[in-house]
Amino acid sequence: MLPTPLEKLRDFRDFRDLERQMGNLWNEFPQIDRTRLGLAAFNPAVNTREDESSYTIEVDLPGVDKDAVNIDISGNTLNISGERQEESSSEDKGYLRKESYFGKFHRSFTLPPEADLEQVQATCKEGVLEITIPKRALDSPSARKQIPVQ
């Protein structure tokens, strides 16, 4: 026999309650180090924009030294990776609580055909990495050459 709509609603409510309880589980055990369990990750925010002459990627990297950032291009993919180091500190009296995320990060972007991969520039200022990718002119249809089939 199929469940009634009221029974379906109860099942959904039970699932929602279970989801809420699971989400609150970590608040009940503050002594667990989330970074060691792999639950915390540093995933920097990214803004992208395009104008007539270039593409720009801005990556928020507060607390990341520019020497800890790697940028490379493989094929038509721009890869940004690095690591945000955790500062060690101790507290003699009371508790110490940190809400900053630390660890390795990696972001990838597929670049369009008009991206000039030879002229990419990167600067880092006040915790913001800015990558500028100039556009190059693609061949216009009138500049194409027809190849006859033999």
Note the pLDDT tens digit of each residue in 36-93: 554 456 788 999 999 999 999 999 998 888 888 999 999 999 999 998 876 656 666 6
Q: Rounded distance, CA 98 to CA 75, Å?
A: 39
The one-letter amino acid at 38: G
C-alpha 129: how far from chain center: 13
Which residue is associated with the tokens 């709509």? 5
Looking at residue 35, the DSSP 8-state letter turns out to be T
Q: Rounded distance, CA 125 to CA 42, Å?
A: 19
Q: Which two tokens stand for residue 140?
A: 């216009």
- pLDDT above 60: residue 12: no
Which pTM was predicted? 0.61
Partners of residue 56 on adjacent β-strands = 49, 132
Q: In the prediction, which pLDDT does 9 show?
A: 53
How far, in Å, are 113, 136, 148 from residue 139 at the CA level? Answer: 11, 10, 19
Which residue is associated with the tokens 């990214």? 46
% of the chain surpassing 90 pLDDT: 35
The residue that leads in pLDDT, 98 or 73, is 73
- CA-based nearest residue to 44, from 90, 108, 92: 108
- pLDDT above 80: residue 20: no
- CA-based nearest residue to 48, from 149, 133, 127, 120: 133
How far, in Å, are 40, 41, 78 from residue 86 at the CA level? Answer: 12, 12, 26
% of the chain surpassing 70 pLDDT: 57
Instruction: Tell which CATH classification among 2.60.40.790, 3.30.70.20, 3.30.470.10, 3.40.50.300 matches the domain 46-86+100-136.
Output: 2.60.40.790
The highest-confidence range among 19-23, 81-85, 92-96, 144-148, by mean pLDDT, is 81-85
